[in-house]
Amino acid sequence: MPIERKIREYLHKEAETMECPPAISKRIEQSYSQYFQRRRSEINMKKRLISGLVATAILIPTAAFAAPNLIEMLTRTPMTVEQVKVDEVGKATLEKLYNAFPETKSFEIINASKVQGVQTSIILQEKGGIGKKISLHTNGITGAIEHVNQENWEPKEKPLTALTEQEIKSKVDYLIDKMFGNLEEYEFAMEQMENPDQKTFMLNYSKKGSKTPFYQVFVQENTISVSLIEGETTPSNIKVEGFFSTNGKPDYTADSFLNDEKLFSLLKISPTKLKQELAKGKSVVEIAASKNVSKQQVIDVIAQTQAEGQIQGENNDDVPSSEQMIKAVEPKVLQVIEHKTETPW
């Protein structure tokens, strides 16, 4: 029996009784983004196969538990090189990369896409289609680079996994320092994962006293994959952070939706008071109902603000209409306003 089938059957059997840690779910989503881009033109993906494909792609047995969240990844819209260069998030991402690694200015953009208002992804490679490659995944709301995948930056005859652990750490430190910032205040832990098919190292960088990694890194063959786990993921103009939690952590997507002046005006409530009410276990819908405001009114206000923000951030003629954007964002708005916090603050 092919190993892919064995893994898929095992995952489906175990998924009902196990729970995937939030950090792994996020890592899987980001890794799947890269995988899907490579396979876009080769496979007609079906939802019922997602968990097995993800497991095969990155060989993490808990992948199946993140499958429901991965459906959103299928809504990616391809971007041309010209669109990337005029896109606000795309331009900022490239500028960050070029400042960190000037040699990448000569690289070609071989793939780019976005999930509307959520994430922009760009893949660059040395001209000629071989050699160094780097993939960047940027938060479409905050503009923060959340994932970097660096491939083939070491000689084939001596890949990363052939280096000593100290040498591997030095390579990872350099990438993080260039793309994210200095690591002086972080504690470090490194372990080799149990992967008989491919030598893999996991490196966690945590702030002193924290149990959650700030940066989580996987090193495999000649690839360094860095994820920003606990970084700054809220916009600088956020008024209140941590309106409620998801999986035991502040939900920053909810923050970006709920920090809305029109919403506060509609509900006749301050941001701080809204957070206090949510902390009691209420949902935004329930709070609105207590003020004789309907669910649809809340959806309309938030969706309109999100659509306006997205339109302002675009500078090309291919921008969807306001009505299309509102329709696209409504399901996520509904999820946010019906959610009840899982952790009292």
Q: How many CA atoms lie within 13 A of 163 on its CB side?
A: 20
Q: What is the pLDDT of residue 74?
A: 44
Reduced to 3 states, what is the DSSP secondary structure of residue 188? strand
In this prediction, residue 254 carries a pLDDT of: 81
Q: Tell me, what DSSP letter sits at residue 74?
A: G
3-state class (DSSP) for residue 119:
strand
Calpha distance 15→181 (Å, rounded): 37
Bridge partners for 115 per DSSP:
119
Per-residue pLDDT of the chain (345 residues; tens, 9 = 90+): 455 555 555 555 555 555 555 555 555 555 544 444 444 333 333 322 333 333 333 333 333 333 334 434 446 789 999 999 998 889 999 999 999 999 999 999 999 998 766 789 999 999 887 789 999 999 877 788 989 999 999 988 889 999 999 999 999 999 999 999 888 888 989 998 877 778 889 999 998 777 778 899 999 999 999 988 865 444 444 557 778 777 666 676 788 788 888 898 899 988 888 988 988 889 999 999 999 999 999 999 998 888 777 655 444 455 556 677 788 888 888 988 998 886 544
CA dist 323 and 308 (Å) reads 10
Neighbours of 296 (CB within 10 A): 11
Round to whole Å and give the CA distance between 217 and 171.
Answer: 11
| pTM, full prediction | 0.52
Q: Identify the pLDDT of residue 24.
A: 54
Find out whether 200 and 220 touch, Cβ atoms under 8 Å: yes
Dihedral sign, Cα of residue 52, residue 39, residue 233, residue 272: negative
Radius of gyration over alpha carbons of the chain, in Å? Answer: 21
Phi, psi of 121 (to 5 degrees): -120, 135
What pLDDT score was predicted for residue 66? 38
Neighbour-count burial of 176, counting CB atoms closer than 10 A to its CB (0-12 exposed, 13-18 middle, 19+ buried): buried
Which pLDDT value is given to residue 17? 56
Range list of β-strands (E), the chain: 77-78, 108-115, 119-125, 133-139, 145-151, 186-192, 200-207, 215-220, 223-228, 245-246, 249-250
Q: What is the pLDDT of residue 58?
A: 33
Cα 21 to Cα 214: distance, rounded to the nearest angstrom: 15
Q: What is the pLDDT of residue 312?
A: 54
8-state DSSP, 319? P
CB neighbours (10 Å) of residue 28? Answer: 26
Q: Quick one: pLDDT at residue 112?
A: 94
